[in-house]
Amino acid sequence: MRSARRLLEDGDVRRWYENLCRGSRLTADVRLRRLNLFCERHNMLPKDLAEMGRMDIRKLEDLLHDHVSRLESEQYAPSYIEDIMKALKSWLSYNYIDLKRRVKIANADIAVTLQDEKVPSKHELKDMINAATLRARASISLMAFAGLRPQSLGKSDGSDALRISDIPDLAVRGYDVCFKRIPAMIVVRRPLSKARHQYLTFLTTEGCGYLLGYLRSRIAKGEALHGDCPVIALNDGYEEKGRKHRDSLIITTKEITAEIREA
């Protein structure tokens, strides 16, 4: 989102973005991109949009209405259009501008891109796991058998992740790792929870087996596991593949989901 970042040179946009980040960095990034796309399409700046709302609210509402109609005619998904409107309303609300007219979006409650998707069957899940790397197997297991979100395994900005200490039933003993009890309890800390409160979940016997296999492979490569280590981590030698050096081994949401898609 390099082009969207230029908007942060405006102090008001920067403060709006920072305010959104306090709730969710992911949401803030998405809304900044949506605002940028709208402004580029209409050859205007965010401050121009806010000024239009102050001077002529009807003109602003007409602009938003026409924008929605145009996107619908271009066959954009209703959920995508609604996402753009949320970003614009957020920016306008931050500037004390409240829309009077409701701009409706057809079929906004239908996830068009997900209509043909289905939950993998037991056999399909097994095939997916068998085709995956050790790390992807562990990620899939934590999501499928413990109900974790990819963002809980590694935040989008790489600032935090599920850690060894978040699985109290997991014991690291020298050059080995084992579970003290199964199903294994997992503590999802507040920063990793979409609901923004800490909760508990459990990993099944099958999931524990895949996770142990992955963790033991890391130990075999010389990694000294401890409580602060991310459960799902960057692969050894990632820098040799042309990636930038990182201060921690935390993997990002994008990297986790990309690896799973390849399975």
For 128, the token pair is: 């997916």
**pLDDT score of 2:** 52
64 sits in which H/E element: helix 57-73
Q: What whole-number distance in Å separates Cα of residue 90 and Cα of residue 48?
A: 15
**pLDDT score of 190:** 92
List of long-range contacts for 251-256, beta carbons under 8 Å, 24+ apart: 251/153, 251/154, 251/158, 251/161, 252/154, 252/155, 252/156, 252/157, 252/158, 253/26, 253/150, 253/151, 253/153, 253/154, 253/155, 253/156, 254/156, 255/154, 256/139, 256/150, 256/153, 256/154, 256/232
Per-residue pLDDT of the chain (263 residues), as tens digits, is 458 889 999 999 999 999 999 888 888 999 999 999 999 999 999 999 999 999 999 999 999 999 999 999 998 888 899 999 999 999 999 999 999 988 888 877 666 555 555 667 777 788 888 888 999 999 999 999 999 999 999 988 888 999 999 999 999 988 889 999 999 999 999 989 888 899 999 999 999 999 999 999 999 999 999 999 999 998 765 544 445 556 678 889 889 998 888 86
Q: What whole-number distance in Å separates Cα of residue 210 and Cα of residue 107?
A: 41
Q: Residue with structure tokens 């935390």?
A: 250
With beta carbons less than 8 A apart as the criterion, state whether 227 and 166 touch: no
Q: What whole-number distance in Å separates Cα of residue 53 and Cα of residue 92?
A: 8
With beta carbons less than 8 A apart as the criterion, state whether 62 and 71 touch: no
For 175, the token pair is: 């050059």
Q: Quote the DSSP letter at residue 163.
A: B
- Provide the whole-model pTM: 0.69
Planar angle of CA 176, 177, 179, nearest 5 degrees: 145
User: Where are the chain's structural domains?
Assistant: 2-114, 122-262
In three-state form (DSSP H/G/I as H, E/B as E, the rest C), the secondary structure along 218-261 is: HHHCCCCCCCCCECCECCCCHHHHCCCCCCCCECCHHHHHHHHH
Single-letter amino acid, residue 234:
L
Tally of residues, the chain = 263
**pLDDT score of 195:** 83
181: alpha, beta or left? (left if phi > 0; alpha if psi -120 to 50): beta
Q: Residue with structure tokens 């040179």?
A: 9
